[in-house]
Amino acid sequence: MDFFERQRQVKRMSFRLILLYVLAVLAIVVVVCLAVAFALGAFEAPAAELAWLMFWTAVLTGGSILLASLFRTIGLRAGGGKVARDLGGVLVPEDTTDLRLRRLRNVVEEVALASGVPVPEVYVLEDEQGINAFAAGWSPADAAIAVTRGALDRLNRDELQGVIAHEFSHVLNGDMRINIRLIGLLFGILFLAIMGRTFLYAGAFGGRERRDNQGSNPLPLIGIALIVAGSVGVFAGRLIQASVSRQREYLADASAVQFTRQTSGIAGALKKIGGLETGSRMATPKIDEVGHMLFGPARLRSLFATHPPLADRIRALEPGFDPAQLTALAQQWRAAPPSGLAEDAAMGLSLTEHGGPLPGQDTRMAVRPDAVAASVGAPQQPAYQRAESILERFPPEVLARARRGDTAPGLLFGLLLSEQPEVRDSQLSALRERHGESIVADTVAAAGWLAGLHPLLRLPLGQLCFPALRAHPAATRQDLLGTIDVLARADGRVSVFEYALSRLLHRDLYEATYETPPWPTRKRSLATCRNAIASLLAVLARAGHPDEASADHAYHVGLAMILPGQPVPMTAPQHGVLALDGAWPLLDGLAPRDKSLLIQAVVAVISEDGTMTVAEQELTRTVCGMLHCPLPPLTALPA
């Protein structure tokens, strides 16, 4: 199952989730109406009076559930970080020097670079000693990864890598959006039970005067009815959680193995959950809301478990696994619990792995359109090794500045600083006018550190800077994006790299603020996007083939792949890569399978000769990124 098929499944699952929620709400409304009518003796009243009572009871009950769900969902609009903080999560500083926290951030950064998505916020649940983790957010741009203190202390690097890769699978597959939406829906159903307890308390302790004056007090009965109705709703919610979560865990486990190319990491983490007394249990009282999104079950037993049995998950990874091993591990660890850092030291692992050298700057990479499309949202182990290589190649001072909110902007500006004296002077003058003298000094210093930077490191540097930029207020982010645009246009033209960096940062920062793309999301067909597709392919053909004849040939190769039998002549784009701005709102609305075809056509145009330069790789990743199809670093063998 590839990325595009999973996207279709996520959309179907979203529809099913809403349908099940509506059915649950209707069932609760019916139960409450009947219970209230019985409590008030309304069945003996005239039919009109009974109907009036039923109507308003249904309105109040259904309205309460929907408003509670809406209130909770709005409260989560701040993204994955909000969920993590609600559970007691503490943000891990980008520049932390704590060994465990640094190891965690390194692993998260590597997996993000290898996945082709922005680096998420990272949190630690300090009060949770069980081994657990989750990913939360409305989109990759506002995602957060959280791990428990138990996971941080007990897991070695391979195991931590496996858990993080598992959670990134949920980020890439779109599971996070369903998970965070489900939190809001479950809260609405649970809200009835809370109201029921309030009514019951008021009737038992605050209704004495009412009983003396009227001889009876319906509040306790109404409270009991609401508790029962709320329990029915929670029961339905558990069924929904289980149906949404269980099979996705197997898929995420398999994706983590595919990514890291070894089963010992994630299988080892699962074994530690089974062998340690704390397991994956969590103490937070909000566990009912978030149980479906955790790496491991937060409770020992549950009638409607959100996760498959632990032994079954391990056996799926290691077919010869014997559950009796967990008993032996439990006895071994009871006296001396494992330490992740100690195991790393015993295996000779440092905070980072070694991914090998990057290809030469002039190397052309051999690619196939179908292979590139198949790698979308499905990073493989070579992509992880490439990410390790990327992190190793950055000078320490560059990494340190990329991780700080006050120095990351200057680093990005330094990437765009021209080597031509007159253009450079114009850029520095614009910087001085927009941000002051201090940012000019930061930018000049950054440009010196970045001189000769390998082209494959430029877009990843933007990814690494993203968490620091996201921490700024929205107005500051907008100023930074405006400055990037000014610097890119200072010489009267926009290069492929300048376009890629500015557009990807703009999209990610916009979605981190508003949880939606910078354009209306509407479903589109290939037929309605015909002109936008032609414009995109023409821009790419011109960018990769300066010779008019070869550009025209490449354009028609891609056009035949995506729009067979529809001859559309190539029109030279007047504004170069900037002509792509008008295409994204249309093309992002294509169905998943149509996006797959479009990406294959894009690769066919860019790599008409079967190879790609570094600039062409940047352009390909930009196209995929703007279409919300995360593309890992291309790692084909040199041609």
pLDDT confidence of residue 544: 73
Residue 394's pLDDT is 86
* pLDDT score for 30: 86
Which phi and psi (to 5°) does residue 440 adopt? -65, -45
Q: Give CA–CA dist 506/518, Å, rounded.
A: 8
CB 137 within 8 A of CB 143: yes
Q: Band the pLDDT of 205: cuts 50, 70, 90.
A: low
Tokens encoding 258: 């595919």
Give domain limits for the chain. Answer: 3-79+179-242, 80-174+251-346, 366-375+520-626, 381-514
Class in CATH terms, 80-174+251-346 = alpha beta
Reply yes or no on whether the pLDDT at 17 is more than 80: no
pLDDT at 516: 81
Rounded Cα distance, 147 and 23, in Å: 34
Q: Is the pLDDT of residue 214 over 70?
A: no
Tokens of 53: 């009572």
pLDDT of 216 over the 60 cut: no
- Give how far Cα 286 sits from Cα of 218, 254, 261, Å: 31, 28, 35
Taking 80 as the threshold, does the pLDDT of residue 413 lie above it? yes
Please report, in angstroms and rounded to a whole number, the separation of the first and last CA atoms in the chain.
29
Q: Which amino acid is at 55?
A: F
Residue 555 CB-half CA count within 13 A: 27
C-alpha–C-alpha distance, residues 561 and 98, integer Å: 51
Collect all residues with Cβ–Cβ distance below 8 Å to 589 and sequence separation of at least 6: 521, 522, 523, 524, 529
Query: What is the distance between the alpha carbons of residues 600 and 623, in angstroms, rounded to a whole number?
Result: 11
Residue 437 is a catalytic residue:
no
In this structure, is the dihedral angle defined by the CA atoms of residues 182, 184, 189 and 194, taken in order, positive or negative?
positive
Q: How many other β-carbons are positioned within 10 Å of the β-carbon of residue 484?
A: 22
Residue 578's nearest CA partner among 516, 530, 535 is 535
For the full predicted model, state whether its pTM sits above 0.75: yes
Whether residue 467 is predicted with pLDDT greater than 50 in this model: the reply is yes
Which position has the higher pLDDT, 349 or 36?
36
Between 601 and 567, the higher pLDDT residue = 601
Higher pLDDT, 410 or 574: 410
The pLDDT value recorded for residue 637 is: 41
Q: What is the mean pLDDT of residues 131-159?
A: 93
Q: What is the average per-residue pLDDT within 263-272?
A: 91
Strands 144-148 and 611-612: unpaired
pLDDT value of residue 355 = 57
Q: How many residues does the chain have?
A: 639
Hey, what amino acid is at 461? L
Q: Are 539 and 590 in contact (CB under 8 A)?
A: no
User: Cα–Cα distance between 468 and 409 in angstroms, integer?
Assistant: 9
Positive or negative, the CA dihedral 223, 225, 228, 230 is: negative
Query: Which residues contact residue 224 at a Cβ distance below 8 angstroms, ignoring those fewer than 6 apart?
Result: 35, 196, 200
Mean pLDDT of the chain: 84
Calculate the alpha carbon distances from 475 to 393, 497, 543 in Å: 33, 25, 34
Q: Where are the alpha helices (DSSP H) in 394-495?
A: 396-402, 408-416, 421-435, 437-450, 458-470, 474-488
Q: Hunting for tokens 């010489």 — which residue is that?
A: 491
pLDDT for 533 equals 93
Higher pLDDT, 336 or 365: 336
Question: What is the C-alpha separation between 625 and 226, in angstroms, rounded?
Answer: 47
Catalytic residue chosen out of the listed positions 109, 121, 167, 616: 167
**Which of 349 and 176 is assigned the larger pLDDT?**
176
CA distances 264 to 137, 268, 318, 343, 405, Å, are 28, 5, 9, 13, 37
Contact 132, 269 (CB under 8 A): no
Residue 570, C-beta contacts closer than 8 angstroms, at least 6 positions apart: 534, 537, 538, 541, 551, 552, 555, 556
